[in-house]
A and B are shown apart, each in its own frame.
Chain A
Amino acid sequence: MTPDIERFNTRDRAMHWLTALSYVYCLLTGFAFYTPHMFWLAVVLGGGPTSRFWHPILGIGFFLAIVWMHAVWRGDMHITETDKRFLSRVADYAENRDHLLPPQEKFNGGQKLYYWLMYYGTLLLLFSGLFLWFPEYISLSMAWVRQLMIVLHEVAALLTIGGFILHVYMTVFLVPGSMTAMVHGYVSKAWAKTHHALWYIRVTGGEPAPKE
């Protein structure tokens, strides 16, 4: 067994789990406000008024965590030509023909797309959310603004939920090893070589692939 490679350091993981927890809280309480069929979630989480009180505050927390993440990961998230080639072969990725895929950096094209979806989604949620938080300051003649913002808030939330479903599915089920990477920080060399070959070569100086 060859020694593992550090994929996410403590800062990365703290950052990630801050966004994750605050997002999930907003997601669950948001679902409660979204449809009567899920209003019981608010009851479970301490009641409707409590959920309504904390939803925007945790939302601000989520935004701040995203700002931190952006400061750290922005450089890694530019979509490159390699990413475009990777994304053009998304069908091969989805059907697990991974040997046909071009080698990837620390984050592959799909992860980068998810990152930008969440980044812009967060900005949209924050912007529209502020109007939902303080609707009493909007006069009746500007009522269309708060109506539009409610719709925008929900559309933005639904878009991030789409990405979130894929994100959770892929880390927890589809790609074994990626969940432990975010929990403990380390991946095996074989994992790195398989999923992020360019990054593997960069951090190891291109040492030959290990046999497991």
Chain B
Amino acid sequence: MSNGTLEIKAISGHAGTVPGQGVSRDYEVCKLIDVTTCIGCKACEVACLEWNGYPFRETVFDNTYQTMPDLAWNYYNLIRFNEHVGEDGTFRWLMRKDGCMHCADPGCLIACPADGAIVQYANGIVDFNQDNCIGCQYCVTGCPFNIPKFNPETKKVHKCTLCSDRVGAGLEPACIKACPTGCLHFGSKEDMKDLADKRVKQLHEHTSHTDAGVYDPAGVGGTHVIYVLHDINHPEHYGGLPKDPRVPLLVRIWKGPLKWLGNFAIAAGILAVAGHYVRFGPKRIHEGERK
């Protein structure tokens, strides 16, 4: 809702219908990350900070290339450097640009109790609106990728916006613009899927990466950030990318049956005591001695 130019598809914590739904014909957008051509230059990280106006963070050194341990509330986009030793003993870098996947079925939005703190646009972007965020971090629990990050000072949660402000103005996200190898692509979901499939075919035909594949997990309805991985059978090698991410079952139960059961029980309880009062009325004090 921070963005007036994009059509809204879903709103968190919102009773009733979504205003303006179905009024335009936005197509679904997608960011394609071809990790096979990522060189780990971190230009995307810098572009992200530049565009969003965040300062650089202090780095840590733990004898790897991973100079920042995790995403942060003001760091939406992080290359994960994974040193992977294959079964044949060969060493390989598995570098993956980590960030929000913009799920079609977003666990963060399902879990969020605050009206309008998370919106899903018709083009697939899932955006946090900090004005409405109450800082409960239920989105952290709802997310299968562990992406939303909390700012303890402002008590607001942040994550990649897929540059909804840029996309709304017809521009591509900042990270795409900065990538020097062409590992990042942006376009319609359909085009990006086509491009990813072509790249996978190329990898199968011309390289040894015969397990290459597209990561567009169906468990969350597909994502609007998709990967081409060298080894689609082991996404967990890429710094904890879940194999079959889903909105957690307990979150589904909590926001589904438990809610309705609870609402019903509370309403029934109040009606029951009201009915009891009408039927039996208040208790009277015994007059005199009665055994």
Contact = CB atoms under 8 A, between A and B. Distances in A.
A183 interface: no
Nearest to A210: B288
B85 interface: no
A33 B146 CA distance: 21
A191 B285 CA distance: 6
B265 interface: yes
A120 B126 CA distance: 39
A150 B251 contact: yes
A146 B270 CA distance: 31
Interface string B148-169: 0110000100000000000000
A33 B73 CA distance: 23
A98 B283 contact: yes
A49 B141 contact: no
B15 to A, nearest CB: 4
Interface string A42-86: 100001110111000000000000000000000000000000000
A40 to B, nearest CB: 9
Contact of B280 (A35, A94, A132, A165): A94
Contact of A173 (B140, B146, B253, B282): B282
Interface string B78-113: 000000000000000000000000000000000001
A151 B254 contact: yes
B180 interface: no
Interface string B3-15: 0000000000111
B259 interface: yes
B283 A36 contact: no
Interface in A138-153: 139-140, 143-144, 146-148, 150-151
Contacts of B283: 96, 98, 174-176, 194-195
B285 to A, nearest CB: 5
- Report whether over half of chain A's contact residues are helix, strand or loop; otherwise say mixed: helix
A36 B134 contact: no
Given A135-B141, A155-B258, A39 B146 contact: no
B250 A48 contact: no
A211 interface: yes
B18 interface: no
Interface residues of A, number: 54
Nearest to A51: B134
Nearest to B156: A49
Interface in B205-247: 240
A39 B259 CA distance: 14
B138 interface: yes
Contacts of B253: 151
B280 A49 contact: no
Interface residues of B, number: 48
A174 B277 contact: yes
A166 B250 contact: no
Interface in B247-291: 248, 250-251, 253-254, 258-259, 262-263, 265-266, 269-270, 273, 276-277, 280-290
A17 interface: no
Interface string A1-37: 0000000000000000000000000000000111111
A144 B289 contact: no
A169 B273 contact: yes
A39 B114 contact: yes
B115 interface: yes
Given A52-B136, A143-B146, A39 B115 contact: yes
B273 A175 contact: no
Contacts of A42: 134
Contacts of A211: 287-288
A82 to B, nearest CB: 16
A208 interface: yes
A77 to B, nearest CB: 22
23 contacts: A32-B113, A33-B136, A39-B114, A48-B117, A52-B136, A53-B155, A94-B276, A96-B280, A96-B283, A98-B283, A132-B136, A136-B140, A136-B149, A144-B248, A147-B251, A158-B265, A165-B270, A165-B273, A166-B269, A173-B282, A174-B277, A176-B282, A211-B287
Interface of B: 13-15, 113-115, 117, 132-138, 140-141, 146, 149-150, 155, 240, 248, 250-251, 253-254, 258-259, 262-263, 265-266, 269-270, 273, 276-277, 280-290
Given A135-B140, A151-B254, 12 more contacts: A32-B113, A35-B263, A36-B15, A49-B134, A135-B137, A136-B149, A143-B146, A150-B138, A150-B250, A174-B282, A176-B282, A194-B283
Identify the 6 closest CB pairs spanning chains A and B, nearest first.
A48-B134, A147-B250, A169-B273, A140-B146, A36-B15, A52-B134
